[in-house]
Every structure is written in structure tokens, then in C-alpha cells.
Structure 1
Amino acid sequence: MVRITKDMIMNPSRFAVGSYAFGALSALVSAALAALTTHGLAGLAPAGDQAVEWFKIATSFQMNHALGLIVVTAIAERLDAGQARTLMRAAAVLLGAGALLFPAALYSLSFGGPVFLAPYGGIAAMAGWALFGVAVLVTLKPKTTE
């Protein structure tokens, strides 16, 4: 059973505080833009109904990866300093980059702006999840059999 102690919650690292704050802000922006999508975006954006579709994709992606950033950071905080923790933190950074860059490109596209950041955001998100998987494997220790 995993025990969460007061120190784990009350004494987060500076990395964790920054990651939690960025994740929360990203989730807030996603929720606000999802509300805008539902309440009149088609009339505001030059792309009209297509903008609504792009915003739906972007807000979903942003929320999922903001929450992923928070969860991966929480897991990283539970690990002792070392390779696995470093990999988890790198995964969190990449998820944060993905949560920012890919949706930003779709929001920009909806208003006729550039979209060149989309591939970088998508690659960052995929790399973040891949690195998370590697970090999980690094933390696994085979059970000894008797």
C-alpha cells in the first residue's frame, strides 16, 4: 500500500510547485476556451464553424495534457532522486510543452494565424508520454522469488 505523508504534500519541490501551477493554469485556460467554444466562437472567429471544431480538439488536448502534467509531477515527487525521477520530470516538462504548443497552434489557426508550432507540440506530447513509460519501466524492480 502506498502511504502519502504530510511531508509529500506540504513540502513539494520548486519543480513540483511550478509544474502544478502551470498545469492548473493550462487547465483553467482550456476550460475557459471550451466555454467560449460553446457560447459564440463561431461568430467571432474568421474560420466560423471550422474554428469550433479546432477549438474542441485543442481544448480537449490541452486539458488532457495539463492533467497528465500534474499526475506525472505527483509521481515524480514520490520517487527518490535518481534516474527515474529525472526521467519523470523530463516527461512532465515535455507534457507541459505539448499542452502549450499544440493547442496554441489550433487556437491561432482559428483566427487566421500561423500553425507552425503544432508539430512541435504534438511531438513534445508524444515524447512526454514515451518518456513517462520509460521512467515507469526504470522504477520497476523484479520481485525476488524464493
Structure 2
Amino acid sequence: MTTDRTQGPMDRLGFLLAWHGRITDAFIRRALGTTGLTPRHAMTLMHLDTGAMSQQSLIDRLEVDPSVLVAILNDLEGGDLVHRRRDPADRRRHIVEITPEGSVTISTLDTALTKVENELFADLSAQERATLQDLLNRVASVPRDYEC
């Protein structure tokens, strides 16, 4: 007797995504090991590489609690990779910008991440990679009816 419940875990998109996410995370962490940064540190630097922004903007982009961002920025500032300053237009606001050392680190990150991506996606064409990126960008981070 067969039922509709015969799907294996790799036939379920959520499990497949989680499985590949775990593997990808391990590859990225290993690649970042040469810099001493975590994925959150790297993502923060990559956002700042596009230009200075407020701490609130970083909180929104990274989707983290303000206390988590402060810890990330403390680490990055301790490594002279970012600099925080008060916004002259609003002294309650902090502006964060990448330092010259942070820009050098971005170059190292870019090389390491490109190598990881080339290994992970070697069997995909450029078009397939673009399609995968588009599809993943459209996946909801939290299902609409999900209750924690």
C-alpha cells in the first residue's frame, strides 16, 4: 500500500534548502577563516562597501537585533575594519563606514567567496546560477502564516 507520504527528505524543498544551507555555511565559514570573520561580520562589511550608512539601516538590512549589531560593530571596529561616528545632523544617530583596512579585507572576502561559489555551483551554467539567485531572493524568509 502506498500513500502520499512516500517523499524522502530531499524531495521536500525545505529540507533540501536546509541541507544545502548547512553545507554552504560550512564552506563559507572555512573560507572566512583566513580573515577571522564570521558570516555576519562579512555581510556587514559587504553592506558597508557600498557606502556609509546608519546603524539603523544596517539593522534593517541584516535583520538583527540592535544589540547583535552593536556586538558585530564592536568586533569590526576593534579590528580597524569599520568606524562609527555621530551623525552631525542628528547626534542620536551613528553613521558606520568602512575603513581602508576594511576595504582590503573586502577584497580578500571577495576572492574567498568567489572560490566557494565556483566550487558549489560548478555544475550550473551562468543562466542557471542567475535563475537560482532570483528564485532564492523570492523565497519568504518567514512563512506568512508561521507562528513561532
- TM-score, normalization: structure 1? 0.28
Q: Which has the higher contact order (CA 8 A, sep 6+)?
A: 1
Question: Which structure shows the higher strand fraction?
Answer: 2
- TM-score, normalization: structure 2? 0.27
**Which has the higher Rg, Structure 1 or Structure 2?**
2
